A = this chain, B = another copy of it.
């Protein structure tokens, strides 16, 4: 199924234009469409038809883009996927209201799920939506704290990033009549995939190839963000922590420190470990095209350089 074509079929040429145009704009920006694809793969992985999964798959993509829209307002981000963000192109109030409507549109798509499956899908979706907001709040809270542990950081990225991937797979498998065990396996794969993906994100901000990364290396360091690497360096020992604080903001020095103290290597190992863990989750499933695609996806994400 061509998920991009299905997203393009959604009609935003509706009145009042001031409400719907920004939604169409936000959704047209593209992106990897990974969440709806995972929902379809979740269905295919349990060996069943993907057709019934389409409304939920679209709901997940619309919801994801709603979170980006409101996150960009809160972060005062001016660019998203190479284009002005909605609150820049229109204004902040438009971004708030069209974002709200976008969340409602996600629930409208969800209401098209086969009726016998709807109650449980709605509950899975609500749980996921709640966890994403909780993750966003923890991210905000962590900025004000100096005692964030790596365990807390992992929980934050689990909520903020992983549960949406995991729930996409789970909902796909559930609608396609997958067993509880199959659903759980796919959910767990999604969690670990998301964690690996996020740490990889932190890693690439430090050690990505500037040619392919798409933005300047070291943005997180300049902003003083508490990434996995920063937290791991601080957890290594008070000497390392003091050293890191001393060269805070200096990209070159921090990168050298990450290399010398083994933080870089630890990140690589952690990404590899989580990727392996994700793939191991798939072992309870009968191998087919979809499970192979999920394994390839995990390998690709771990090897990506942008």
Per-residue interface assignment for chain A, residues 28 to 66, with 1 indicating a CB less than 8 Å from any chain B CB and 0 otherwise: 000000000000000000000000000000000000000
Which residues of A are in contact with B by a Cβ distance under 8 Å? 15-16, 18-19, 70, 73-74, 93, 96-97, 99-101, 103-105, 107-108, 110-111, 115, 118-119, 122-123, 126, 129-130, 133-134, 136-138, 140-141
Query: How distant is the Cα of A16 from the Cα of B138 in the complex, in angstroms?
Result: 7
Do B97 and A100 touch across chains, with their CB atoms under 8 A apart? no
Which residues on the B side are within 8 Å of A100 (C-beta)? 70, 99-100, 103, 133
| Extra inter-chain contacts (18) besides given A97-B133, A99-B100, A100-B133, CB under 8 Å | A15-B134, A16-B134, A16-B137, A16-B138, A18-B141, A19-B134, A70-B96, A74-B97, A100-B103, A101-B133, A103-B103, A104-B129, A107-B122, A107-B129, A108-B130, A110-B122, A111-B126, A118-B119
- Stoichiometry, copies per complex: 2
How far is B98's CA from A133's CA once the two chains are assembled, in angstroms? 8
Query: Judging by beta carbons under 8 Å apart, are B118 and A122 in contact?
Result: yes
A16 neighbours in B (Cβ, 8 Å): 134, 137-138, 141
The reply to whether A97 and B136 form a contact with Cβ atoms under 8 Å apart is yes
Kindly list chain B residues whose C-beta atoms are within 8 Å of the C-beta of A136.
97
- Chain B positions within 8 Å of A73 at CB level: 93, 96
CB distance from A165 to the nearest CB of B (A): 18
Residues of B near A140 (CB, < 8 A) are 18, 93, 97
Cα–Cα, bound, A53→B270 (Å): 49
Closest B residue, CB atoms, query A111? B122
| Bound-state Cα–Cα, A97 to B126, Å | 15
* Contact of A111 with B101 at beta-carbon distance under 8 Å, contacts A134-B16, A137-B18 already known: no
CA distance A249 to B48 in the complex (A): 67
**Alpha-carbon separation in the docked complex, A137 to B104 (Å):** 15
A103: nearest chain-B partner, CB-CB: B103
Given contacts A93-B74, A97-B74, contact A119 B111 (CB under 8 A): yes
